[in-house]
A and B are shown apart, each in its own frame.
Chain A
Amino acid sequence: MLELAARSRNIFKPGQGKTPALLVLMLVALFSVTQSNFLSTGNISNVAIQSSYLIIFALAQTYVMIVRGFDLSIGSTVSLISVASSMAMSHALGLGFSPAMAISSGVITGIAIGLVVGLINGVFVAVFRLNPFIVTLATMNICLGLASSISNGFQIFNLPDGLNATFYQGSILGIPVPVVAAFVLVGLIHVVLTQMKIGRSSYILGANPQAAFVAGIPVTSYLLLAYALCSALAACGAILLTARTGSGEPNLGGNLMLESIAAAVVGGASLRGGSGSAFTPVFGAVFITILSNGMNLSRIDGYIQQMILGAIIICTAFGEYKGRGS
């Protein structure tokens, strides 16, 4: 019944079901005709690596959107984690730990901060029943302030050598680590959403919270876990991004709030909750990455790209409330 509800909505909402995949194909066709080097091996692997970061953040955003929430704090959480885990790593190196130990301390710090931010969001949204907009707007500011004050606004260098080599340049079976990570996380969330009780009840929880409560679903704890999971996923992405830049950046997540929401809604998640799957953010993120890659190759101004992204976000919103009320 849950699947039925989710599927029937796919027909009505543009940008869901097969549409994102079609959009991606159309973009690929457009850019491969207009830009000769778009289909070069180098560019394809570049797009694959680029989009894997956005896939992770869009996946996090989609998960909270399924339970009818969203996370505005995702970008500044990424900045905070980048700075804090870098400080942990360089501090551990300074204490004489081995690079591997330093990296694991950074990863643990990052995931722990992600969980804490997510739990704070979750407690206010699920337990105190505050509007997720206000809560995540507040935590966005708090994380932003923390990220810039603990780093004094400076980048953090002296990271262990192995970080970049492992998490950015490394590969498993010839596939770059960020791509593997995105695959693994998408697979994990897919299993959670389709096989586990918490994931399957998320849909009814988002589509109709009252019904979920009446049906005996532990609404509060599932909501809480959704926000914790969202920020934990963001933490994984943040560590991968930090490994790519090779330094802790206090403004690493600058555009991520907008981009992750864009990728999630282009993929087919809805602010109304109850729709989306683990694969929808993949399409959304790949679409946005290919779009920006193609526009970069075509030398389109960055500000014009920003306008186009905004226009796409507006287009996805059309018809969201079709067939309901007034």
Chain B
Amino acid sequence: MNTNIIQGSPPTVRPGAFRISYRAIALPAILVATLLALALLEPRFLNQLNLLNLSRNISFLTIVGLGQMLVMLLGGLDLSVGVVVAISSVTAASMMNHAVIWWPGNDAFAIAVACLSAMGVAAMIGLLNGLFIVKGRASAFIVTLGMFSVVGGVAYYVTAGIPIYGLPASFTNTLGRGMLFGLPCSVHFALFLVAAILIVQQRTRIGRYLYAVGGNAHAANLSGIPVNRTIISAYVACSFLAGLAGLLITARIGAGQANLGSEYMLHSIAVCVIAGVSLRGGVGRVERVFLSAILLTIFANAMNLVRIDSKLQTIVFGIVLLGAAMMDRSKQSGGGNA
């Protein structure tokens, strides 16, 4: 997976001018076409409730997808994002229910403590992933696969698989159902993060480090870029974002669940592949990840609206993933098969 990080393989070809224009047109075009078709053919699509729901789902996927993009830019991969969503949900819910008793009458403080501990747990998992990968010189695939098993086991063990209900209303009503300027809270989080990561990538040194390390870790190292620190930070950021998504989803459904977010491992990777983020690292753009999160969510919504069975949706999802990878094939510069 991150062979090119460690081995310092030849730099991945940067998207040339013609590739940028191709992809810059393709994604929005497909998106607009899908939107038009849905608006014309399916009256329930433009229903306000459906649109609100859609916007929430888009923001959850965008937040997790952005995290996945950060590690994929470095030629890595995080298979543990789904279980981080779950552990964040479980931690937040159980902490909240305890903290409300510890500090009676001070819900806001209790909620803040619970949210902070959930984010802390998420960031710690990212730190462990990053440390194992960098210091243990291990492959991201194996480390995060192992972490997937460990963290999933913890989430189920502490809850015994039973959802944690009884969250304070001030939590679910604000973060979950709250609206600001006519948009759900989670949408603001997602938009803020897209803008923030866009600025970080284009205007700051850290952003350039990401592409430099992903493009050619060896050269980056020689140029004095703190390669290891960049990699570890990316994994922390990825888990942190997955943890945030876990909090927002928990607020939305009003319960902490160990089986929450199991689809995000697959979907976040799919979003990045559709957005053209290269598994070899060094190539990928924030705005396209956002666009493909919108596209994938709308696609899933459309299949629900026309009542395509959820089992068949899994098949369609696999075909879309293969199709996206095939479209991206021209970008790969031949040679290796892993």
Contact = CB atoms under 8 A, between A and B. Distances in A.
Interface stretch (A38-46, A50-58, A304-312): A304-312
A319 B138 contact: yes
B132 A326 contact: no
A149 interface: yes
A134 B279 contact: yes
A126 B337 contact: yes
Contact of A307 (B8, B145, B150, B217): B150
Contact of B132 (A131, A305, A318): A318
Interface stretch (B32-40, B92-100, B152-160): B152-160
Interface residues of A, number: 59
Contacts of A170: none
B150 A310 contact: yes
A271 B148 contact: no
B150 to A, nearest CB: 4
Nearest to B269: A137
Contact of A317 (B146, B149, B273, B314): B146
Given A314-B143, A320-B139, A326 B218 contact: yes
Given A145-B318, A265-B142, A324-B6, A307 B154 contact: yes
Contacts of A314: 132, 138, 142-143, 146-147, 150
A142 B322 CA distance: 10
A153 interface: yes
Interface string B4-21: 011110000000000000
B142 A316 contact: yes
Interface string A102-140: 000000000000000000000011101111111101111
Contacts of B273: 134
B311 A310 contact: no
B136 interface: yes
Contacts of B7: 321, 324-325
Given A223-B337, A325-B7, 5 more contacts: A124-B322, A133-B141, A271-B142, A314-B138, A314-B150
Interface of A: 67-70, 124-126, 128-135, 137-142, 144-146, 148-149, 153, 209-210, 223, 258, 261, 265, 271-273, 301, 303-307, 309-322, 324-326
Q: Which 7 A-B pairs have the closest CB atoms?
A: A310-B149, A317-B138, A145-B314, A141-B318, A313-B146, A145-B315, A310-B150
9 contacts: A129-B337, A133-B141, A209-B337, A223-B337, A271-B1, A303-B156, A303-B157, A306-B150, A325-B8
